[in-house]
Amino acid sequence: MNENNELQRGLGARQMRMIALGGTIGVGLFMGATSTIKWTGPSVIFAYLIAGIFLFLVMRAMGEMVYLHPTSGSFANFASDYIHPVAGYLTAWSNIFQWVVVGMSEVIAVGEYMNYWFPDLPQWIPGVIVVLLLAGANLVSVKAFGEFEFWFAMIKVVTIILMIVAGFGLIFFGLGNGGEAIGLSNLWSHGGFFPNGWVGFFFALSIVIGSYQGVELIGITAGETKDPQKNIKSAVNGVIWRILIFYIGAIFVIVTVYPWDELGNIGSPFVATFAKVGITFAAGLINFVVLTAAMSGCNSGIFSASRMTLNLSQKGMLPKFFTKVMKNGVPVWTVVAIAVGILIGALLNVILPLFIKGADSVFVYVYSASILPGMVPWFMILISHLRFRKNHPEEIEGHPFKMPGGAFTNYITMAFFIMVLIGMLFNKETVVSVVIGIVFLSFMTLFFFIKGYHKLSKDQQL
């Protein structure tokens, strides 16, 4: 064991950029694009653009603080230091809840994707294998985690680039369409650019926001990154335009190549686009890509949630044995605990419906409930940032990585997120997830005060 229980700085700039990128570009883009498009039509392009800009501002607010204080689980510590210890506690548990739930859903998805090649294979078997494989990678070293995530992200990025290139070939040169360019008319020919009006656009924002969750992963990797100031600055600035290009570029191709109101009938638009330009193995290719995307989500979940669990245990809010760090710098028991949690959740999803009628719908609600906890770190980052600036005016004056617009853009970003949450309460497809998220946060707040964690000394707080 590591005598000082300290993490090691094993992540380089290459891995940092891909971790941030891969954590955000997930299965939601490949499999869930049609669900956002159905709400708002072609104007979904603007929804991804607007959400991407506000997430960039969150990243910059976090980057301004992490640049000066690069620690693992940084934004939970910031929330505790600059808001209140309960804020740090809620941030850590929200992050754990979000990533365990995401990990569970991704593991279940792995079983479904493997059925494409092995239709008679029980879905739980691939899930178990993937969890054991990824837990093993996380236990080897943080560098091994980073390398896995780098290649998972690379597969997703290359696929999206190829899809955009193929799409542009269809749109402007008629590649795969008998030489007849499709043109841009699908953007306005089927009910206009905003076919469902501003209400549909507003509702779509909540689903779009969910697809960006994970972008704050940089704030957790900060404590295990070589040359953190340089790499954090590079990762934050570099990842946002890549995200915008990949999301907006892919969505632009989808709603331009196909009438938005017919997307529900063609299956995956990625498969359809590749097939249209003559790639006959498109279905198998995309199935492989979404399989790696699911593994990427689970990989990120194990890493992120294990570091937040370590953070809580170091402050006496979880059993002390979770603080054990191996010689390779990996917090062994937190990685094992999160992997087991993901595995149990995935297996229960298979077992419970066999004995309890309607149990599968409970899991659907739990998965969707990760949206609100997933937004908690963003709010905490923004509020912490305001206090950080107020408490450290001398450090801000010569800061080389300031948030654009300072406090003004901070308030605007929070207002945007509040607006999205209000919209979710009025949408029957998202209101349940918000309510479950509120119940979870309320329970954890009560637990914090009942356990007396607010009475811990300053050094013991998160």
- Count of beta carbons in the 10 Å neighbourhood of residue 359: 14
Mean pLDDT, rounded, of the chain: 81
Q: What is the pLDDT confidence band of residue 334, given thresholds at 50, 70 and 90?
A: very high
Non-local CB neighbours of 216 within 8 Å, separated by 6+ positions: 58, 59, 62, 75, 377, 378, 381
Query: Can you read off the two tokens belonging to residue 282?
Result: 């498109």
Q: How many whole angstroms separate alpha carbon 416 and alpha carbon 52?
A: 12
pLDDT, average across residues 183-207 = 86
Tell me the pLDDT band of 2, cut-offs 50, 70 and 90.
very low
Q: CATH number of 13-460: 2.30.140.10, 1.10.600.10, 1.20.1740.10, 3.40.140.10?
A: 1.20.1740.10
| CB-based contact 170:177 (threshold 8 Å) | yes
Per-residue pLDDT at 383: 94
Most confidently predicted of 68-72, 230-234, 259-263:
259-263
Q: What's the rounded Cα separation, in Å, for the pair 76 and 86?
A: 10
> Which residue's structure tokens are 């632009």?
252
Answer for the pair 462, 312: CB distance below 8 angstroms, yes or no. Answer: yes
pLDDT tens by residue, 235-279: 777 767 777 788 888 889 888 988 888 877 776 777 777 887 777
Helices (H), 2-84: 13-24, 27-40, 44-68, 74-82
Residue 172 has pLDDT above 50, yes or no: yes
The pair phi, psi for residue 225, each rounded to 5°, is -115, 135
Number of H helices, E strands in the chain: 18, 0
Mean pLDDT along residues 432-450: 90
pLDDT-based confidence at residue 444 (cuts at 50, 70, 90) = very high
pTM: 0.85
Is residue 100 within 8 A of residue 338, CB to CB? The reply is yes
What are the pLDDT digits (tens) for 75-123?
A: 788 888 899 989 999 999 998 998 888 888 888 878 878 888 998 888 8
224 vs 66: CA distance, rounded Å = 12
Work out the average pLDDT over 187-204.
86
What is the gyration radius of the CA atoms in the chain, in angstroms?
Answer: 22
Long-range contacts of residues 344-351, Cβ cutoff 8 Å, at least 24 apart: 345/100, 345/101, 345/103, 345/104, 346/104, 346/107, 346/108, 346/124, 346/127, 346/131, 347/124, 347/127, 347/128, 349/104, 349/108, 350/108, 350/123, 350/124
Cα 7 to Cα 138: distance, rounded to the nearest angstrom? 13
